[in-house]
Amino acid sequence: MISRWRPTVSAATILGLALVLRLPALAQKPTFSTQVEVVRVDVLVTENGRPIVGLRPTDFEILDNGVRQQVEFAGLEHMPLNLILALDASDSVAGVRLEHLRAASEALLDGLITDDQAALVTFNEMLALGSPLTSDLRQVRQAIRAVAPGGDTALIDALYAGIALGESDIGRGLLVVFTDGADTSSFLRRQVVNDAAKSTDVVVYPVASGLSGRRVTSFLKDVADQTGGRLFEIESTRDAQRAFVGILDEFRQRYLLSYTPRSVAKSGWHRLEVRVKGRRAVVKARAGYQAGF
Amino acid sequence: MIACGCQQNETLNSVAAGSRAAAFSRQLVLRTLWVLAVALSTGNAAPQDFGAQLDRAVVEPFLFQRRVVPGRTFATAQLQSWLEAVANHRPGEADDCTRVVASLAPDELADVVAGFEWNAVPPPVGIARTDLIKRAAILHTDIAVMAAADSPQPDRANVSPRASLHFGAALELVAFLKQVAPRGRDDPFVLHWWRAVAAVLGQLRDTVSSPYYMKRAVSLFPHDPEILLMAGVLSELVASPSIQDAQPGFEIVYVRRAEQFYRDALKSDPNAVEALVRLGHVLGQQQRHVQAVSELKKVADDAAPPRFRYFKYLFLGEAQEEMNQGGAAREAYQRALELYPGAQSAHLALARLERRTGDRVNSVAALQRLLERPPNAQARQDPWREYFIAGPARRAAEMIDGLRKPFRRQP
């Protein structure tokens, strides 16, 4: 039985966005500026390629702009997950590829547990919210079945929207974005997504099919790295299910660390280094975060 | 009825060497276009060579003029068959004539065009030489347009090698018009053809053949605002992320080219609203935001159609956002949304602005207002989706039809 942790940390970034998408009235609330009170860092710790479990806060060392911080919390699988599934629904996924994608998405949803939520965003040249964040996964499954491919690919716009949606509710944000084509119609530029990736708690896992060697993969890898996620490159959509399930498995092995920044600037880019004391562990975490405006 | 007869060869020693050189150079243009189109459309071209190849495509054919071999032979039966097709083609229709000519291999086509230019067989009786050339240009343009419509490339709308080949053949015939007519360059058909073909390629968002055509078009008509505008839009398209993803490295070069084309277009026609709006956009892309704002503010709302007013406010907002003028930028985006309430680009711009200023609640709210709208073309009308199609290119079919009209036989 997995125990549940309810967040009590006062991260203004998170709380300020709570439920905006589900409760539109909240969007009308007065403006406030983002101030980093508590920093959340999602980390994957492996040793010899295998995740390490059972670590405590005192096992971690976090350097914020080179200044050692006091880790206050280290949770594993304890916080409800907000899965944002962003699927390419352009011309190129029509036919059997769509079937692969549907099966992969269903398998991903099968891995969610009570209190986890999911949302579906599809994109061709238009972004569409197939399902808002909900714990009613039937709604999401229904939206997956209704996906009808056609049109161009606005990948950059979709990544931006996916990150924003992942931030819109309390919970650990996981953005799984699938594409099998380069961007052909986005309005936003790559840099906007890179900037968003630097200042988000959402962990991005792109899945790119048949795009090996294309410039778009290095962009997707950068976005993933900035958030502590990982790019999955697959040969064809046949491998999508394995990738999707693998992402969730990996995500479940991640620790959620938190700390209150001390003795560091209140604004600007903060470089993060996360280590495990006394072990030769590999730690995958976001490269840093953007504080203040 | 068109029929291709058996092949006969005829030696033409009487043609002046200078004419041979010119004709042979045209064959090389065709072949180079073909090779270029095949190489780029199949992805065989090395990305770093993209710009260089486009330039070589223009220059190289003329470097080989000295290779002309005296005693060149032609397949006259094939040429005869081609001439019959030219004379009998019904402009704009997929008829037997288009089918016969479309079946020619690149080398055969190059030989036929060269043979025609060399007068290798007598032309059909009753059609003026210049009309015959125009009809031939229309026939090849029709084949190219039909082939382009079938280009099966979901990610890139570049025309197929066959379309490129026949646009190339038409181009050579239009160039030949200048040689045979005393006022060749001044023949309105020539400008009309260049504008129409540029419009077709622009509508298809082609980036393989277009740079070559636009470069030629601009060199022929350096003061035509429509040609300059389409050249600018093509340059912007090549610089866009969708193209740079496949062929990176020349973004800034093409943005600067676009700027120059728009400036030249505005010199020729100071009231060219579209060129002014696009100039503002490319200035913004070069981080020259103060200049961008200045140019965009020159766009008079009452003189600009809604889509250009939308672009004005969208790009104005972007420039002001970069200048940390959040309030002005927000107002500009909202003006844009008043014109197109479902436009994804303006909603995303507003979401980006709010996030930048630290207001993530309003950022998500802006996104939500977009996502609440049903994802269909009517509810989500967004001029940005066709930004890389120039105004004239949106009238491509009409322009091509205008080209054909004088050559349609009355029933």
pLDDT digits (tens, 9 = 90+) for B119-162: 778 888 888 888 999 999 999 999 999 988 776 554 445 667 78
A163 vs B32, higher pLDDT: A163
Least confident range from A22-26, B292-296, B394-398: namely A22-26
Cα separation, A132 vs A118, whole angstroms:
8
Q: Are A158 and A223 in contact (CB under 8 A)?
A: no
Tokens 């060749």 correspond to B184
Beta strands in B227-268 (DSSP E): none
pLDDT band at B66 (very low <50, low <70, confident <90, very high): very low
pLDDT of residue A24: 33
Number of H helices, E strands in chain A: 7, 15
User: What are the structural domain ranges in chain A?
Assistant: 81-252
Residues of B in contact with A215 (CB under 8 A): 244-246, 248
**Per the confidence metrics, is the pTM higher than 0.95?**
no
In this structure, which topology does domain B224-400 adopt according to CATH?
Answer: 1.25.40
Query: In the predicted model, what is the mean pLDDT of residues B94-118?
Result: 88
Check residue B44 and give its pLDDT.
38
Query: pLDDT (tens digit, 9 = 90+) per residue, A109-141?
Result: 999 998 999 999 999 999 999 999 999 999 999
Residue numbers in B near A24 (CB within 8 A): 365, 368
**What is B76-119 written as a DSSP string?**
HHHHHHHHHHHHH--TTS--HHHHHHHTS-HHHHHHHHHHHHTT
Within 8 A of B361 by CB-CB distance, chain A residues are 16-17, 20, 26-27, 29, 31-32
User: Considering only the top CATH level, what class is A81-252?
Assistant: alpha beta
Q: Of A282-286, B161-165, B313-317, B382-386, which range is least confident? A: B161-165
List residues of chain B with CB under 8 Å from any CB of chain A. Answer: 154-155, 241-242, 244-246, 248, 344-345, 348-349, 351-352, 355-365, 367-368, 370-372, 375, 380, 384-385
Per the CB < 8 Å rule, is B367 touching A190?
A: no
The alpha-carbon gap from B212 to the nearest alpha carbon of chain A, in Å, equals 22
What are the pLDDT digits (tens) for A62-103?
Answer: 999 999 999 987 776 667 899 999 999 999 999 999 999 999
pLDDT in tens, B30-53: 555 555 554 444 443 333 334 444
Cα B34 off chain centre by: 16
- Model confidence band, residue A12 (pLDDT cutoffs 50, 70, 90): very low
Contact check, Cβ <8 Å, B361/A17: yes
Amino acid at A63: L
Half-sphere exposure of B22 (CA within 13 A, CB side): 14
CA angle, B15 as apex, B10 and B16 as ends, to 5°?
Answer: 155
Residues of B in contact with A218 (CB under 8 A): none
Residue B73 pLDDT: 66
Q: Is the pLDDT of residue A163 over 70?
A: yes
Subunit contact A215:B356, Cβ cutoff 8 A: no
**CA gap B46, A84 in Å, rounded:** 37
Beta strands, E only, A65-202? 67-69, 73-76, 81-88, 117-123, 127-134, 172-179
DSSP class of residue A42 equals E
Interface contact flag, B365 A214, Cβ < 8 Å: no
pLDDT, averaged across chain A: 85
Domain spans, chain B:
1-221, 224-400
Which of A20, A181, A183 lies nearest to residue B365, judging by beta carbons?
A20
Of A34, A156, A183, the CB nearest to B360: A34
ipTM (interface predicted TM): 0.84
